[in-house]
Structure 1
Amino acid sequence: MKKSIISILLIVTLAGSKVLAQDFKEKYRPQFHFTPKANWMNDPNGMVYHNGIYHLFYQYYPDAKVWGPMHWGHATSKDMISWKEQPIALYPDSLGYIFSGSAVVDKNNTAGFGKDALVAIFTHHDPVQEKQKTGKHETQSIAYSLDDGKTWTKYKGNPVVQNPGISDFRDPKVRWFEAQKKWIMTLASKDRITFYSSPDLKSWSRESDFGAKEGGHGGVWECPDLFPIKHEGKDVWVLIVNINPGGPNKGSAGQYFLGNFDGKTFTSNSKETKWLDYGTDNYAAVTFANTGGRNILMGWMSNWQYANQVPTDPWRSANTIARELGLKTVGNEIYLTSIPVKELDALNSTGFLLKNVKVQDQLDLTERAKNKSGLFRLDLTTESKADFSIVLSNEVGNELIVGYNKAGNQYYIDRIKSGKVDFEKGFAEKHTAPRLATGSKISLTLLADVASVELFADNGLTVMTDIFFPDTPISKFHIKSVSGIFLDTLQYKSIKSRNDR
Structure 2
Amino acid sequence: MQIMEQDFATAGSGAPSVSEDCARKALPERVPSHWRPRRHFSPARNWMNDPNGMVYLDGVFHLFFQYNPGGSVWGDIHWGHAVSRDLLHWQEKPVALASEPDGLGMIFSGGAVVDWENTSGFQRGENPPVVATFTHHDGNGVQVQSLAISTDGGWRWEKYADNPVIPNPGIKDFRDPKVFWHASSRRWVMVLAAGDRVHFYRSRDLKEWEFLGDFGEKAGDHGGVWECPDLFPLKTPEGEERWCLLVSINPGGPNGGSATQYFIGDFDGERFVPEHQEVRWLDYGTDNYAGVTWDGLQGRGDRRILVGWMSNWDYANKVPTEIWRGAMTLPRELYLYRDQERLLLGNRPVTEVQVARTLHSEGVLERGKVVQLPGGNALDLSISVGSAPELELEFLAGDGERLLLTLSRERGVLLLDRRESGWVEEGLGREIRAPLVHSLNRDSELRVVIDGSAMEIFVDGGKTALTAVFFSSEPLSRLAVLRAAGLSPAYSLYTI
TM-score (norm 1): 0.89
- Describe the shift of the 1:107–1:416 C-alpha distance in structure 2 as closer, same or farther (beyond 3 A): same
Partner secondary structure for residue 346 of structure 1: helix
Q: What is the distance in 1 between the residues matched to 2:485 and 2:360?
A: 28
Note the residue ranges of structure 1 that are not aligned, 5 or more in a row.
Answer: 1-19, 131-136, 496-501
- Whether 2:153 is the aligned partner of 1:148: answer yes
State the SS of the aligned residue for 2:369.
strand
Question: Which residue pairs with 2:16 in the alignment?
Answer: none
Tell me if the contact between 1:302 and 1:317 (Cα under 8 Å) persists in the aligned partners: yes
Which of residues 401, 406, 424 in structure 2 aligns to 1:403? 406
Matched, 1:334 2:327: no
Q: 1:385 to 1:220 in 2, by over 3 A?
A: same
2:120 is the alignment partner of 1:119: no
User: Are 1:184 and 1:196, in contact at CA under 8 Å, matched by a contact in 2?
Assistant: yes
Displacement of 1:395 in angstroms is 2.6
Which of 267, 276, 282 aligns to 1:270? It is: 276
Partner-residue secondary structure (3-state), 2:487: strand
Return the TM-score normalized by structure 2.
0.90
Q: Which deviations, in whole Å up to 9, do the C-alpha atoms of 1:334-382 show, x marking residues without a partner?
A: 110110001112332242332xx4623x22112xx5x232532222213
Q: Secondary structure at the match of 1:270?
A: coil
CA deviation digits over 1:58-82, x for unaligned, max 9?
Answer: 0000000000011000001001111
Between the two proteins, the alignment pairs up a number of residues equal to 460
Q: 1:181 to 1:382 in 2, by over 3 A?
A: same
After superposition, residues 166-205 of structure 1 pair within 5 angstroms as 166-205=171-210
CA separation in 2, counterparts of 1:455 and 1:352? 19
For residue 49 of structure 2, what is the aligned residue in structure 1? 42
What is the CA-CA distance between 1:413 and the residue it aligns to?
Answer: 0.9
Partner of 2:451: 449
RMSD, aligned α-carbons: 1.5
CA separation of 1:384 and 1:274: change in aligned 2, threshold 3 A: closer
- 2:235 is matched with which residue? 230
Q: Which amino acid aligns with 1:490?
A: Y
Please give the alpha-carbon distance, in whole angstroms, between the structure 2 residues aligned to 1:125 and 1:238: 28
Give secondary structure in 1 for the equivalent of 2:322: coil
Q: 1:407: how far off?
A: 4.1
Q: Answer whether contact 2:409 2:440 (CA < 8 A) is retained.
A: no
Comparing 199-208 with 371-380, which one deviates more in the overlay? 371-380
Question: Does 1:258 find its partner at 2:261?
Answer: no
Distance (whole Å) between structure 2 residues aligned to residue 273 and residue 56 of structure 1: 29
Give the Å deviation of 1:438.
1.9
Displacement of 1:482 in angstroms is: 6.0
Counting strand residues as a fraction of each chain, which structure ranks higher? 1
1:440: which partner in 2? 441
Cα distance between partner residues in 1 of 2:436 and 2:215: 28
Aligned partner of 1:91 in structure 2 is 98
- Distance between the aligned counterparts of 1:405 and 1:491, measured in 2? 20
Tell me the distance in 2 between the aligned counterparts of 1:472 and 1:118. 43
Instruction: State how far apart, in whole Å, the 1-side matches of 2:96 and 2:386 are.
Output: 51
Deviation at 1:456, TM superposition (A): 1.2
Which letter maps to 2:133? Answer: I
Q: Give every structure 1 segment of 4 or more consecutive aligned residues whose post-TM-superposition deviation is greater than 4 Å.
A: 20-23
C-alpha distance 352-204 of structure 1, shift in aligned 2 (>3 A): same
- Could you say what secondary structure the match of 1:311 adopts? coil
Contact 1:383–1:486 (Cα < 8 Å) also in 2: no
Question: More displaced, 470-479 or 23-32?
Answer: 23-32
Question: Hey, what's the Cα distance between the residues in 2 that align with 1:64 and 1:364?
Answer: 41
Please give the alpha-carbon distance, in whole angstroms, between the structure 1 residues aligned to 2:243 and 2:397. 45
Higher RCO (CA < 8 A, seq sep 6+): 1
Alignment-derived partner of residue 298 in structure 1 = 307
Name stretches of at least 5 consecutive residues in structure 2 with no aligned partner.
Answer: 1-19
User: Partners in 1 of 2:259 and 2:43 — Cα distance?
Assistant: 22
Which deviations, in whole Å up to 9, do the C-alpha atoms of 1:109-145 show, x marking residues without a partner? 1111105111110001012x22xxxxxx110000101
